[in-house]
Amino acid sequence: MKKKIIVVFTLLVMLINGCSLDSDPAVVTDEVTIIAPSSVGGGWDLTARTIQDILISENLLDGDIRVMNKIGAGGELGWKYTKQQKDHVLAINSSLLITNNLLGQSKLTYKDFTPIATLATEWEVVIVSKDSSISSAKSLMENLKKTPHAYKIGVSPRLGNDDQLSFVLASKQAGLPPEELEFFVYENSGQVVDALLKKQIDVATMTLSEAKKYYDLNQVKLLVISSKERLNELPEIPTWSEEGIELVFEHWRGIMGPPNMTKDEIQFWDRTIGEMVKTEKWQQTLQKYMWNDFYKNSSETSKFLDEQAKLYEVLMGG
């Protein structure tokens, strides 16, 4: 009789607390789609496929997961698609979600989505072709000051992103009016480098992970990096401060969902992404691409986006 009373009491406690025999049920058990709002091989795509790989290989998700590339308008098409979804769809984002709106290129804002996580940051670099006569970022800026239209500068996927903004901020520091610079926009970093090698442009600005593969192939020179100090992995690459310009600039990427996601869904992704960034495979990814760990959960990301919106408004209005 005593044993029977204990069992009944336990079941009552579970019912009162809203528990079940599986106390932590997965919210997402069917197919998940991650939108990479760019072509294959870009930073957004690389981030999406890395998440896909780790969630599958580490058994962090019960359902299937796929990556869908929605290309166009500097992320706009992919993010518009994400906003319209009600099923399990997430999208990779970056500061371009904020700057597109500030530049009047999009009506979308970060407030149109559910923040899921901020994942990592990386540094910006300036590159030239291997046989370019440009030997340093300092000489580049000095030449641009004399003749602003002397060099064509490549950027992707849209004006107003961190690639362009980091170069603009450096040029301001050098006393060069940014509006006199000639920027040429390409769909992705691969097209930028292709134009660089074909002499269609003279200089390019992009993230380190996008540029490094071409550097490793001995196709480009890295003139400068936006980090505070030289990287141990690339000790030969000087910082902007070493080139006489006080600039430290980090580019971040994160992940978000459609509006009106439920509390349970948000908690599920907090738990799942939180586990992902603890895995050895994620740490290896950070090391491989020289990304910096910058994980923030949903609520932390919400505050971070508010801060970033104010920051970019100042940077782009100054």
218-274 pLDDT per residue, tens: 999 999 999 999 999 999 999 999 999 999 999 999 999 999 999 999 999 999 999
pTM flag (> 0.75): yes
CATH superfamily of 10-121+253-317: Bordetella uptake gene, domain 1 (3.40.190.150)
Instruction: Tell me 220's DSSP state.
Output: E
**Is the Cβ–Cβ distance between 297 and 271 less than 8 Å?**
no
Q: Rounded to whole angstroms, how far apart are CA atoms 111 and 44?
A: 20
**Is the Cβ–Cβ distance between 247 and 169 less than 8 Å?**
yes
pLDDT mean across residues, the chain:
91
At 177-193, the pLDDT tens digits run 999 999 999 989 999 99
Instruction: Find the mean pLDDT for residues 72-83.
Output: 93
**What percentage of the chain has pLDDT greater than the value 70?**
91
Return the ∠ at Cα 210 (arms to 205 and 213), rounded to 5°: 120
At 7-35, the pLDDT tens digits run 444 444 444 444 433 444 456 667 999 99
C-alpha torsion sign, points 216, 219, 224, 227: negative
Please tell me if the domain spanning 10-121+253-317 has the same topology as the one spanning 123-250.
yes
Q: Rounded to whole angstroms, how far apart are CA atoms 8 and 10?
A: 5
Return the ∠ at Cα 282 (arms to 60 and 59), rounded to 5°: 15
Q: Where are the domains of the chain?
A: 10-121+253-317, 123-250
Q: Rounded to whole angstroms, how far apart are CA atoms 257 and 263?
A: 12
Q: Given this model, what pLDDT does residue 318 score?
A: 55
Q: Rounded to whole angstroms, how far apart are CA atoms 312 and 7?
A: 59
For the CA atoms of 118, 266, 73, 148, what is the dihedral angle to 10 degrees? -20
123-250 in CATH: which number? 3.40.190.10
Instruction: Find the mean pLDDT for residues 44-66.
Output: 95
Q: Given this model, what pLDDT does residue 138 score?
A: 97
Q: Given this model, what pLDDT does residue 23 score?
A: 41
Q: Given this model, what pLDDT does residue 28 score?
A: 66
At 192-215, the pLDDT tens digits run 999 999 999 999 999 999 999 999
**Is the Cβ–Cβ distance between 149 and 184 less than 8 Å?**
no
**DSSP-assigned beta bridge partners for residue 35:** 68, 91
